[in-house]
């Protein structure tokens, strides 16, 4: 998708002074955005329903009059749309401010689940086995920071034990057997992302859930709760909570052309599956997430979910075709100087994600992007953009050598990316690499 630079308030430009080679040069050229794993623009239909809700559904959804009823009806319809997108029921959807809040809510719930179960056991009403020691959480070493840092904080302050299971350096997937081997009697939560934002690798969530549910059937076993962060998967591949078998699934709007709000799927919140609020207030979202609802943004989320349900196969096919063409063009241009960091034997990859390194001593990812005239992309997760020149810990964890990881570019295509965009990006990268090699 080519965008006029004048329409972009920010261009890709690192703030580190040593990176300022020729930032903001050629501001009149068409920029080509290939950073859809960082965020997506809102679909026109999504903008329209948000605008309509801002104008017409401004009432408080808790009010017992027409203005409130109109806002509540929009929220209810959006809840149904989001539930349908993930194969759940409307009552299983809790709206949140975004993925970070949803992920924190799951970890908070797991802690409360452990505490309340152990308290009940002390009084003869709960499962005794697993109540000695701290609650134990299992995750992987390639999760989003809202999982990793929250779990690390709980461990640092002495509230939980955490096991970060490393992904395979061959497949870049977490191994099901490694997850099961990490389970202890006091394990209360397993949280593994559905797809990685840098490599695009899809994790074996269904197999993990099947194995853990067998463990949960054991007599006197503390129930292990199962969570997946589906931020990068939604809108790109089919996501069905029934097939996956999860208790919780994180939904992030701005990854599938919706506004920056989110939701948490919970399989029967408060009945089949525990959910404990972090906030207390006016009782909205059935007391699970109080606070007056952001009706326009929820309306946009619902519309975007509706579009995914109706068009996923077309979106997926287009992105896969464009990504394959991108990889072919890069291979043609750079030949033996290219290394794909999103190709792993036996692993399925998101249809839109190409992580690639152009090999050479002066071709670090930040340097290449700083000198591209048209390409807007990133070297990894946007939330790690302040980490300087260090190679991505995700790629290092997946077995990518440090000198290769340092040169990584994460190119993620979108619904409107064209082959002409790809041709232009390939030429832009060719010219940039040629320039940097001459400078070196």
Is residue 372 part of the annotated active site? The answer reads no
Residue with tokens 């290394």: 339
Active-site choice (118, 188, 372, 383)? 383
Task: Provide the b/e sequence for 24-63 (b: ≥16 CB within 10 Å).
Answer: eeeeeeebbbbbbbbebbbbeebeebbeebeeebebbbee
Measured torsion, CA atoms of residues 428, 400, 99, 178, in degrees rounded to the nearest 10:
160
228: left (phi over 0), alpha (psi -120 to 50) or beta: beta
CA pair distance 182, 176, nearest whole angstrom = 10
What's the order of all strands across the beta sheet hosting 30-33? 2-4, 30-33, 375-376
CA 391, CA 259: separation in Å to the nearest integer? 30
User: How far apart are the C-alpha atoms of 211 and 147, rounded to whole Å?
Assistant: 22
Q: Looking up tokens 């989001």, which residue turns up?
A: 82
Torsion of CA 27, 32, 36, 41, to 10 degrees: 70
Which residues, in sequence order, are bridge partners of residue 266?
248
Contacts of 135 (CB under 8 A, 6+ apart): 110, 111, 114, 115, 159, 160, 161, 186, 188, 189
Q: What is the dihedral of CA 88, 89, 94, 98, to 10 degrees?
A: 30
| Positions marked active-site | 383
């Amino acid at each position: 998708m080519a965008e006029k630079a004048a329409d972009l308030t920010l261009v890709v430009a690192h703030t580190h002074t040593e990176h300022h080679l020729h930032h903001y040069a050629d501001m009149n050229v068409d920029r080509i955005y290939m950073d859809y794993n960082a965020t997506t623009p809102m679909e026109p239909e999504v903008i329209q329903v948000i605008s309509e809700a801002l104008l017409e559904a401004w009432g408080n959804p808790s009010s017992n009059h027409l203005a409130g009823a109109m806002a509540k009806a929009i929220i209810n319809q959006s809840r149904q749309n989001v539930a349908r997108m993930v194969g759940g029921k409307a009552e299983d959807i809790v709206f949140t401010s975004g993925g970070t809040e949803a992920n924190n809510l799951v970890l908070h719930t797991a802690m409360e689940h452990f505490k309340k179960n152990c308290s009940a056991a002390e009084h003869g009403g709960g499962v005794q086995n697993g109540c000695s020691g701290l609650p134990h959480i299992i995750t992987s070493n390639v999760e989003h920071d809202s999982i990793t840092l929250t779990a690390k904080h709980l461990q640092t302050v002495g509230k939980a034990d955490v096991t970060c299971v490393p992904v395979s350096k061959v497949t870049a997937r977490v191994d099901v057997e490694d997850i099961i081997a990490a389970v202890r009697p006091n394990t209360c939560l397993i949280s593994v992302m559905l797809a990685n934002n840098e490599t695009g690798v899809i994790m074996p969530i269904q197999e993990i859930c099947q194995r853990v549910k067998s463990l949960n059937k054991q007599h006197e076993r503390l129930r292990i709760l199962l969570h997946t962060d589906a931020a990068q998967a939604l809108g790109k591949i089919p996501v069905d909570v029934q097939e996956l078998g999860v208790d919780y699934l994180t939904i992030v709007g701005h990854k599938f052309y919706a506004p920056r709000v989110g939701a948490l799927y919970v399989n029967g919140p408060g009945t089949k599956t525990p959910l404990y609020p972090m906030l207390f207030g006016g009782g909205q979202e059935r007391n699970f997430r109080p606070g007056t609802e952001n009706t326009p943004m929820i309306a946009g989320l619902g519309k975007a979910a509706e579009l995914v349900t109706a068009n996923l196969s077309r979106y997926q096919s287009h992105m896969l075709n464009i990504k394959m063409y991108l990889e072919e063009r890069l291979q043609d241009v750079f030949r033996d100087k290219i290394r794909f960091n999103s190709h792993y034997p036996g692993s399925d990859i998101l249809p839109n994600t190409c992580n690639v390194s152009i090999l050479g001593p002066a071709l670090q990812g930040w340097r290449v992007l700083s000198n591209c005239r048209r390409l807007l992309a990133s070297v990894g997760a946007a939330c790690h953009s302040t980490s300087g020149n260090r190679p991505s810990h995700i790629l290092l964890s997946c077995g990518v050598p440090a000198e290769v990881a340092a040169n990584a570019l994460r190119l993620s295509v979108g619904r409107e990316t064209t082959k002409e965009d790809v041709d232009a990006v390939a030429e832009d990268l060719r010219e940039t690499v040629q320039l940097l090699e001459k400078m070196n």
